[in-house]
């Protein structure tokens, strides 16, 4: 039995991953929406073959794209998943149980999401995980309009619960692909920082790499993930340094133009 629930996914060039994402939730909903921002691969064809509605929308930023996705959904209960995430069977059953006696009262539900690195078959038991709100009723939650941060802003006082299970996040295709993705994300974050007037001190730029390597390797427990954990911690640290360096480069460039 499908639920009165819409599932929406933002995607671009995800033909290799989005099929598994949709299959994991296909039995839950009659309204699966993929918002494609301009794929040049078979993302749209794969999603359509899995029964999803594919809608093109030029990329406006993370939060705004997810707001657009919310607006395309037919039902009031919404589940957002990314194109590189797979909902496990126990979480799908937990969602189904919520609707066993009809639609539950409006609320938000946190979802545990943990990365799965190449060579791993499932999330590591002690993997660092995020727990954002991903299942929610549209009357009490909506994604923020931030271009770089995608989070559901809940109505003050709205109840927030937790779903059982852990979503597998297949975010790393390869180290090179990860660097390319983080490099593009750094550019978007610098745009956002400059627009909001945020700053990065020279000392912080010097400390970004070592501090964030420790943050990833120790704090986020990449040390438990073997050689690949070390390499991804290095990538994370480089991305955080690169973000700070690009900020300073942009500031110097602006100063140079103002001096002309």
Structure token digits, residue 157: 């006082």
Mean pLDDT, range 221-235, rounded to an integer? 94
Reduced to 3 states, what is the DSSP secondary structure of residue 254?
Answer: helix
Reduced to 3 states, what is the DSSP secondary structure of residue 208?
Answer: helix
Q: Mind listing the domains of the chain with CATH numbers?
A: 3-169 (3.90.550.10), 175-259 (no CATH)
**Structure confidence at residue 260 (pLDDT):** 43
Cα–Cα dist 256/254, whole Å: 5
Cα–Cα dist 159/109, whole Å: 8
Mean pLDDT, range 135-164, rounded to an integer? 96
For residue range 76-111, list pLDDT tens digits in order.
999 999 999 999 999 999 999 999 999 999 999 999
Tokens 């809608």 correspond to 55
Tokens 């943990």 correspond to 114
For residue range 45-63, list pLDDT tens digits in order.
999 999 999 999 999 999 9
- The pTM (predicted TM-score) of the whole model is 0.90
- Mean predicted lDDT score pLDDT of the chain: 94
DSSP code at position 28: G
Phi, psi (5° rounding) for residue 244? Answer: -65, -40
Cα–Cα dist 204/259, whole Å: 26
């Amino acid at each position: 039995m499908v639920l009165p629930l819409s599932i929406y996914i933002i995607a671009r060039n995800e033909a290799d991953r989005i099929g598994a994402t949709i299959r994991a939730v296909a039995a839950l909903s009659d309204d699966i929406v993929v918002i494609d921002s301009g794929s040049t691969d078979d993302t749209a064809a794969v999603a359509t073959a899995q029964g999803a509605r594919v809608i093109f929308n030029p990329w406006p930023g993370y939060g705004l794209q997810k707001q657009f996705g919310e607006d395309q959904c037919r039902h009031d209960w919404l589940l957002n998943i990314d194109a590189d995430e797979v909902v496990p069977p126990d979480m799908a059953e937990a969602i189904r149980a919520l609707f066993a006696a009809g639609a539950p009262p409006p609320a938000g539900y946190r979802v545990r999401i943990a990365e799965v690195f190449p060579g791993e078959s499932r999330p590591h038991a002690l993997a660092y995980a995020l727990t954002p709100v991903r299942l929610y009723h549209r009357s009490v939650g909506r994604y923020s309009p931030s271009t770089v941060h995608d989070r559901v802003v809940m109505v003050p006082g709205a109840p927030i619960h937790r779903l059982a299970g852990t979503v597998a996040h297949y975010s790393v295709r390869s180290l090179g692909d990860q660097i390319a993705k983080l490099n593009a994300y750094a550019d978007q974050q610098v745009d956002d920082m400059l627009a909001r007037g945020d700053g990065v001190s020279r000392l912080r730029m010097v400390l970004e790499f070592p501090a964030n390597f420790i943050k990833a390797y120790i704090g986020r427990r990449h040390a438990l993930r073997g050689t690949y954990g070390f390499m991804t911690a290095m990538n994370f640290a480089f991305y955080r340094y690169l973000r700070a360096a690009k900020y300073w480069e942009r500031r110097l460039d602006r100063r140079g133009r103002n001096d002309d």
